[in-house]
């Protein structure tokens, strides 16, 4: 029983450290200079704090890939984003289906990384490079964010098609 408790306490200590590392502080001083820190700023006297604003943010450690352009095509990592012609508004209507497909793949990819789920589904021997899985996750997040940015264009396309 004490061995289980020791293992539990050790795992708890490891988890607490990673949760603490997931906080980020954005500090804006009176001149408008912005700094980011993992640690909260030290308390200052009230007369010095008038122009300073501190925001606490939560970060997951993973950032989405960036949209890049190669020739006429845009990519989020390995995912080629659809080329949409503004003169053909019906092309914007397919973005919802693409977003849902990418979201389903993102959720499914998360399940495949779960060891218990893989063992239950008989996929434990499937070798997956964790860095490739992480990159695919970031690419999917980038593609979903790109579709979300197109939301205004989708609404304009629907309005144009109704007329």
**pLDDT at residue number 45:** 59
Whole-structure pTM over 0.75, yes or no?
A: no
Task: Let me know if residue 17 belongs to a domain.
Answer: no
Is the pLDDT at 116 greater than 80? The verdict is: no
Asked whether residue 90 falls in the same domain as residue 110, the answer is yes
Domain enclosing residue 155, as ranges: 67-162
Task: Let me know if residue 16 belongs to a domain.
Answer: no
Is the pLDDT at 120 greater than 80? The verdict is: no
Q: Compute how many other C-beta atoms are within 10 angstroms of the C-beta atom of residue 133.
A: 14
Higher pLDDT, 97 or 125: 97
Mean pLDDT of 64-74: 83
Is the pLDDT at 97 greater than 80? The verdict is: yes
Q: Give the model confidence (pLDDT) of 42-59 as tens digits.
A: 776 555 555 556 555 545
Least confident of 66-75, 94-103, 145-154: 145-154
- Distance CA(74)–CA(81), nearest Å, equals 5
Asked whether residue 75 falls in the same domain as residue 41, the answer is no
- Distance CA(71)–CA(137), nearest Å, equals 24
**pLDDT at residue number 109:** 57
- Distance CA(51)–CA(49), nearest Å, equals 6
The residues, any chain, with a CB within 8 Å of residue 49's CB and separated by 6 or more, are: none
- Distance CA(137)–CA(143), nearest Å, equals 10
Phi then psi for residue 140, to 5 deg, are: -65, -40
Decide: 128 and 117 in contact? Cβ < 8 Å. Answer: no
- Our count of domains for the chain comes to 2
- Distance CA(49)–CA(129), nearest Å, equals 48
Asked whether residue 78 falls in the same domain as residue 140, the answer is yes
Asked whether residue 129 falls in the same domain as residue 53, the answer is no
Q: Find where tokens 């990418």 sit.
A: 102
Asked whether residue 46 falls in the same domain as residue 79, the answer is no
Q: Which residues lie across from 23 on neighbouring strands?
A: 58
Task: Let me know if residue 108 belongs to a domain.
Answer: yes
Radius of gyration of the chain (CA): 23
């Amino acid at each position: 029983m004490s061995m289980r408790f020791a293992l539990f306490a050790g795992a708890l200590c490891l988890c607490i450290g990673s949760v603490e590392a997931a906080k980020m502080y954005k500090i804006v001083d009176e001149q408008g200079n912005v700094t980011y820190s993992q640690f909260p700023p030290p308390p200052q006297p009230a007369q010095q704090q008038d122009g300073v604003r501190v925001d606490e943010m939560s970060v997951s450690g993973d950032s989405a890939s960036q949209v890049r352009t190669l020739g006429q095509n845009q990519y989020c990592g390995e995912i080629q984003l659809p080329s949409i012609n503004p003169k053909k508004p019906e092309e914007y209507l397919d973005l919802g289906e693409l977003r849902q497909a990418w979201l389903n793949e993102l959720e499914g990819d998360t399940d495949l990384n779960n060891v218990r789920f893989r063992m239950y589904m008989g996929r434990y021997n499937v070798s997956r490079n964790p860095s490739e899985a992480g990159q695919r996750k970031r690419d999917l997040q980038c593609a979903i964010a790109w579709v979300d940015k197109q939301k205004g264009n989708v609404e304009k396309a629907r309005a144009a098609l109704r007329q």
